[in-house]
Structure 1
Amino acid sequence: MDSTASAPISFDYPQQNAAGATFTAQAWAKTPPPLVAIEKAQVIARIKELLIAKDAALVAHYYVDGDIQDLAVETGGFVSDSLEMARFGKNHSAKNLIVAGVRFMGESAKIVSPEKRVFMPDLDATCSLDLGCDATDFAAFRALHPDRVVVVYANTSAAVKAQADWMVTSSCALAIVQQLKLKGKKILWAPDRHLGRYIQEQTGADMLLWNGACIVHDEFKAVELEMLIAAHPGAMVLVHPESPKGVVDLADVVGSTSAMIKAVVEGSATEYIVATDKGILHRMRQLAPHKILIEAPTAGNSATCKSCAHCPWMAMNGLQGILNCLENTSGEIFIEEAIRNKALGCIDRMLDFTKNHPDLIAQAQHGFVKNIGAA
């Protein structure tokens, strides 16, 4: 194995404090050492053996490396968005879960499945939205607005979820906020400002927004996307709602990762411009091999990108890291029981809502998936 990992790279992200002021902070990421073909085959074979021997299941997000996604599918695990990752882990019989994604996903799995041991290939794989919403600052900010229902996006720490009334993902956020609005509730939303703004526009809800952003989706450029659309006039434009308003306004489909995949599989277009983490293209190509997929621009001739449409922390997940989880029980997730119990309430509330109100989810998703209806 090549032992030379890439050097750490720093990334800027927005951080809000207790008073509501936003400033720029930095975090680092680095990719794991690459494996040559024969070593990769050996590591994959060993992982498959140990998943069985250790009664473990591998759950992977659409944004991680394609080899890991394939391994999850081949071993009876799961590849999905964060909502279905949490649901799968909760319902699976395995005693151990390997979660290939970012830190909040592993924490969510542990919150809903405390009886299981949950491991991650790299515990330093985090998220700019999680980092940008410090639990102590959030508690102080929340205390200033006691009249508001607290709704937090899945991309937050267990300590932030422990302060929330609801957790949501991009696949169910619109439906849940719509129902809260119909009940006359005012909402404190955290942490993604772009998704919050989009939901606010769609529902008309009274929402106070935390000022966070995903460093990947925040880099998509409307002016460059317009040029790409002009070059591909027949393409369907798919945009994740964590993107800036100018990008969202150009979309044919605005939705979660699952909704975007559904749009490619079921859509009638030949070409699709995809504005989300390019890790999703691996699964899209498998499910719709005859469709042409085009990455949305994060930079043009006069600009540079830092993430270049791939989350640097998702990229920290590697096959060797998965093997280390199984061989050495490294990367285990631990959460204080008091925090876990408090966080469980907002997650269970979401899971119960999505289970008991599929009609509302479908109606809300119609607004996300403009051309194909429910997703």
Structure 2
Amino acid sequence: MDTPALGGPLARHPRVVDALVVGLLLLLGVLPATLAAVGPEVDGPGVPAGVVLVVTLLQVVPLWWRRTRPEVAAGVVVLAHLAQLPLTDGPLPSNVAAPFAAYAVAAWSGSRPARLAVLVVCALSGGLGVADWWDPELSAVPQVINAIFFSAVASLCWAWGDLTRRRRELLERLHEQNLALRRDRDQRVRIAAQDERTRIAREMHDVVAHSLAVVVVQADGGAYAATGSTQWDREQAAQTLQTIATTAREALAETRRLVGVLRADELDGYAPTESVADLPTLVHRVRSSGLPVELVSDDLDGVSRDVGLAALRIVQEALTNVIKHAGPGATASVRVRRDDGLCVTIEDDGRGAAATDDGQGYGVVGMRERASALGGHLTAGPRAGGGYLVTAHLPEDPGPTRRDEP
């Protein structure tokens, strides 16, 4: 049996413990039987001492397999004890192997019937032994007490083994639960990180795509104005270059900040500095690029940061698409109104369905993701009478759970 005294280094080497148990029991059981074998007979005529020696070995040696084959070891031990009953008229030192076998089955057997069968044998063992060793010349009371004592010892060892098994199974279940919780925690961390990276990727796309679209349009206009010879042409070229420089500088600063956040792996520390209050500035910047844009907006005070930023980015991406795809001479309008949420409408009178598209952009996908992340919805497509229409509805209170969805 594994006792606290056998803890420490021996607990890490169970086969050493088994060897010590078998060795000590052989020393206590086989040695007396061997000494008794000096005479021709033991316990009466017709019982050779060698037979008793074999029974002793069968009671002790199977304990070597008490961990790996507890049912087989206990079965051999029980049969050896039953064989002892007609051979001897008293107990043998090797009978102490019985409690060890009872403990082993209760502690390491995976068969519940086997464990219960050994418990029954433990309860009957004392009575069977004392009945065989009964001495009529002695009082019945101490012999009955001996029978109860033998059965109690074997049953208590079985109960100890059963308690050890239950405790081991409980620790294994707790260990499995801890592993499952750890896997769940790691998965949540990965999902949260992926969610944040997706959000930053949308920000990067919106900043870079919009800024580059404005820069391209302004560069084309500046190149055309630079070919003129009038004072107005030179002023337009200078103003265009100034707009290109300002737009590129803002895009570079925002890109550096986003890349710095990704490099430092501090995704939760990232918070965009823009809000829906920057909507007039955005429209003015697009107007300066040469696209006529009309802005009609309700009072946007009190709009939450997430909803306001999503509305701003949707307008920014939609106007960027107008610059890239609507064609020359197109005009656009932006309307933002509040009812049970924030309703954003961006439309133009450009090419519409006739516009070319390589199908590899993520602008419309990013706009839909922004709206969906807040519990809203977005539709985008060509208008029936020409041009393109983008409408989005963003609830003012997105709720605590939608924001966490990957």
> What TM-score results when the alignment is normalised by the length of structure 1?
0.18
Higher RCO (CA 8 Å, separation ≥ 6 residues)? 1
Structure with higher Rg: it is: 2
| Higher normalized helix content (fraction of residues) | 2
| Higher normalized strand content (fraction of residues) | 1
